[in-house]
A and B are shown apart, each in its own frame.
Chain A
Amino acid sequence: MIAETWRRVGTNWNMGLELPAAFVQAGLPAPDMGLQSNIGTASGPHSRTGVTDLVVTMAPVIEQHGVATIAEIDPATLTQRMLAEASANGSVLIGPHQIGVWTRV
């Protein structure tokens, strides 16, 4: 839902992967990179990945671009419903993959 909305809005969804090229194009030394994420179960300390928070904030934009309606999202219960489903299924939750890119000049 998030990815499809960004695509329809025209936001670059893969900027993290394009940062090294952007650094080089800016005349910077070739950067180092890292990839990190949070992972856990619905009852664990990393159960809150921030994904549902983003969906709630984006809900008007999501609806505006025809991806889903606010009624379908039901922002007030979204986090609770997703965690309940993950718990019932014994799911593992993986948070957004964070790409870090850095260089020194």
Chain B
Amino acid sequence: MRVVVTGMGIVCSIASTVPSFTRALRAGRCGIGPVPDPGDGGPRLAALVKGFRFKDAVAARHRLPEETRRGALRAASRSPEPLQMDLVAAMQAFEQAGLHEAKADPERMGLVVAGHNLSSGYAHDLHPKYEDNPAHLPARFALHFMDTDRVGTLSQVFGIRGEGYTVGGASASGNVGIINAGRLVESGAVDVCLVVGAMTDLSPMEKRGLATLGAVAGVEEPNKARCRPFDEDHEGFVPGQGAGCVVLESARSAAARGATALAELCGYDLKLDANSLPDPREEGEAKVMVNAMANAGVGARDIDYVNAHATATPSGDLAELAALRRALGDSFGRPWVNSTKGLVGHCMCAAGVVEAIATVVQMRHGFVHPNLNLRHPINDDCRLAPGRLRDADIRYALSNSFGFGGFNTCIVLGRER
């Protein structure tokens, strides 16, 4: 059964909608900037969402029925902002998929929220109140601290009554979500499935922990640091705020509803690496790329573009390019390769969904976005996108996501004819 993408939505540091994301990718806009020194040795750079106002973002979805907008405000006005961003991204995707007009059977609609440990920053912020008097914790805390609050709230707003849950795979969570949703559709469990790459609200303690592992850029000298995927001077990732949503749907359901297929989820693979560490490994990464292409029924020479995981950690970038060479063989230098993280930072659990959206956007609009801050490439054989916009005819693309603890994932997206 063919699975297609019929809707997309995004809120991130460089865009508040998919059309503005498209313009930002074209322009190579960077959402990364300095943040106040937390004073604990944690990250001093971040790609933050600026100027988000939930009420306005809901009002902007004026094509959705007033009942849906009112339901969103009622359900989430006092929710933590990260959930509100997830909801707004999902409202955009729901609208683009036309699910408010040509409706799907509520029991045939699913919801997969990709991510875990999503609300640590929220819990951190409430801790002083708890210390002061535990009885004054907001009653909603018991709901809001759970990752599954995102599932519950979004399902209420959209009236989703089919299968739903959260899935986790560290930084690969977004792709884990897309793969799970793809399987729900393929298996016939649902006709339509929303996949939400959930905004990950890290606490200062968690950010400091990541810095301890040496994975974060700009801890020492934020003014000189950049996010530099594939550059010899890469020094780590920059945390990014982002929420994304894609609607996956069986081609039959899309046709029956008259929804436009934006792209096809042609294949995928997800494999553990039997490895609890943050260490990326070439062999396991290559394996999922090879298996995903086989699952899609395409060969290495069919791949025109690779949206790399490429967080800009030295070991990660090197392992991924070595894996790509192994997976593509003689075609290694053929597809364009770029890293969206250079623009939006590392959106953590949402990254896979944000990057799947970036892939579909580039595919549909015929370009590859620049690789930012790439002065001295770590590999001369790979066709790394330059620092400026390039036109590109993309029929098939890979989008990689890898996570601490050996989560290796690759999805194959294809352009709809």
A and B interact: no
Interface, chain A (partner B; CB < 8 A): none
Interface, chain B (partner A; CB < 8 A): none
